[in-house]
Amino acid sequence: MGPNQSCIGEAMFGNSYTPVKFERDCAAVIVPEGSPVELPAGTIGYITQQLGGSFTVYVEGRLFRLAGDDADAIGKEPPPPPVVPDNASNEDFEDIVVEQLKTVYDPEIPINIVDLGLVYKCDIRVIDDETRHVEMEMTLTAPGCGMGEIIVADVQERLSRIPTIKKVDVQMVFDPPWSQAMMSEEALLETGLF
C-alpha cells in the first residue's frame, strides 16, 4: 500500500504519483488531522490526488492538502471560476451549485462530497435578481475527521465564486450518521464497493 493510503485510496490511484517541487513557501494542511503548516520553497513531494482544484501531496511520510489558489506553488494552474450564463434561471443556479459542490473532495478519498453522500440539504434562497444565499447541511464520513473544517471552507469558497451568491451557510450535522449506503452508485462502482 502507498504512503498513508486507505484501501479505497489505493484502489483509486495506485502507486503512480506525480513529483513536484515547491517553488515558493506555501500554506498547507496536514491530512487527516487538519493542522495548518507552511511548506518551504524547495520542498520535494508527490501529488497523490489532484481533484476539484485542490491537491493532496505526500512529503516526507506525511500527506498535506494544498488549496487550489496555491496551485502555482507546485507549478499548477488554479481552478477556473464557474461560468454562469446570462439570464440564468433558478434551476440553472441549482445545477451550477451542484456542479461546484462536485469540485469539493475529501483529501483522502478521491470522490466528491455529493457522490460520497455527505450533502444532506442544500437550499438556495433568492433575495433579489443579484443576490442569493445558500444554506446547507452536510456531514463527514467520520465524526472525528480533522479535515471537517477544511472541507466546509472548501464548500464556502467554491460556492462563493458563483456570481450573485453573496452568503453561504454550512452546518455540520451527524444525524443521520453517514454510511456507505449514502454513496451514489457511481461512487460505489468507482471504489469497487458495488
Residue 119 lies in a domain: yes
Number of domain units in the chain: 2
Does 103 lie in the same domain as 181?
A: yes
CATH number at residue 169: 3.30.300.130
Report how far residue 182's alpha carbon sits from residue 58's, in angstroms, rounded to the nearest whole number: 29
Label the pairing between strands 131-138 and 165-172.
Answer: parallel
Residue 80 lies in a domain: no
CB 34 within 8 A of CB 48: no
In one letter, which amino acid is 144? G
Residue 4 confidence (pLDDT): 40
Residue 194 confidence (pLDDT): 60
Does 114 lie in the same domain as 183?
A: yes
Sorting pLDDT into bands at 50, 70 and 90, what band is 16?
low
Give me the chain's average pLDDT, please.
Answer: 86
Residue that has been written with the C-alpha cell 498513508 in this structure: 4
pLDDT tens track for 24-68: 999 999 998 889 999 999 999 999 988 888 899 999 999 999 998
pLDDT tens track for 71-127: 999 999 988 888 888 888 888 889 999 999 999 988 778 899 999 999 999 999 998
1 or 17, greater pLDDT: 17
Report how far residue 19's alpha carbon sits from residue 124's, in angstroms, rounded to the nearest whole number: 40
Last residue within a domain, chosen from 74, 102, 117: 74
pLDDT tens track for 116-127: 999 999 999 998
pLDDT tens track for 149-183: 889 989 999 999 998 899 999 999 999 999 999 99
Question: Containing domain of residue 37, as a range?
Answer: 7-74
Residue 83 lies in a domain: no
Does 16 lie in the same domain as 44?
A: yes
Count of alpha carbons within 13 angstroms of residue 30, beta-carbon side: 8
Residue 25 confidence (pLDDT): 97
Assigned C-alpha cell, 22: 515547491
Residue 47 confidence (pLDDT): 94
